[in-house]
Amino acid sequence: MVKPGASAANPAANPAAVRALFDAIAPRYDQLNDLFSLGLHRLWKRQLVAGLAPKPGERWLDLCCGTGDLALLLAERLRPGGQVLGIDAAAAPLALAQRRAAQRPWLPVGWLQADALAVPLPSESFDGAVIAYGLRNLADPGAGLRELRRLLKPDGRAAILDFNRTDGAPAQLQRFALRNLVVPLASQLGFHGEYAYLETSIARFPRGHEQLALAKAAGFSGSRHRPLAGGLMGLLELSC
């Protein structure tokens, strides 16, 4: 659910620092996500996959895949004949994803270490794509959406799950949870710097209507942004 960034001022300003932080947090990443979300991130990811309705035989992309839980969820839906490719810039999360996949060798999933803004694959390679808690950590979310659109076939679809930048009670609850739960608990485990940036990263993340504008500029023909978890999270649904 939570991905570290490069600095409190601009968490995505230094891609090398972002990769280093992902590598550092990888061994405890899934445990911390379960703790901070009370396990709900797993439900949100299942809702994301169900809404996209992946079909057997299709080829899908999990961009910024982290430790691979969402890629493996997709892979369950694509047999027989389909495939998922998980891509991440950091080596340590990908190594964990590979070990996790090795325990379920019947699932059609592969892994690639690459920059989400410059994926070394041909255009129109995938029927669908997902990003969970990754777009916010890119130096340029608009460029990330353009690269995502390039990789999708003309009838492709995608969904992006992340924190929802909002106002009112949901924003107040976000700040309270980050300041009084997430950062203190992460600090006890030695990850204060990796998680202290989150409030700032949400504050600079495009709002729902801004994400819709970026999606249109990236070439998506259809888009919808809807809140989850009482507005704490947001789901951007896209079609080509």
- 2 belongs to a structural domain: no
Look at residue 170 in the predicted model and tell me its pLDDT: 75
- 120 belongs to a structural domain: yes
Mean pLDDT of the chain: 84
For the domain that residue 196 is a member of, what is the CATH number?
A: 3.40.50.150
Question: What's the domain range around 98?
Answer: 15-239
* Among the listed residues 165, 170, 129, the one whose alpha carbon sits nearest the alpha carbon of residue 146: 129
- 4 belongs to a structural domain: no
CA dist., res. 114 & res. 85, Å (int) = 11
Task: Dig out the tokens for 83 from the structure.
Answer: 């495939």
> What residues contact residue 132 under an 8 Å CB cut-off, 6+ apart?
41, 45, 48, 62, 64, 66, 70, 160, 161, 162
pTM for this structure? 0.85
Q: What is the pLDDT of residues 145-188, one digit of tens each?
A: 999 999 999 999 999 999 898 887 777 877 777 777 776 776 77
- 172 belongs to a structural domain: yes
- 63 belongs to a structural domain: yes
- 33 belongs to a structural domain: yes
Domain count, the chain: 1
Q: What is the pLDDT of residues 122-143, one digit of tens each?
A: 999 999 999 999 998 898 999 9
Look at residue 11 in the predicted model and tell me its pLDDT: 46
Q: What is the pLDDT of residues 30-67, one digit of tens each?
A: 666 655 666 677 888 989 999 999 999 999 999 999 98
- 3 belongs to a structural domain: no
Handedness of CA 105, 108, 112, 115 (dihedral sign): negative
- 9 belongs to a structural domain: no
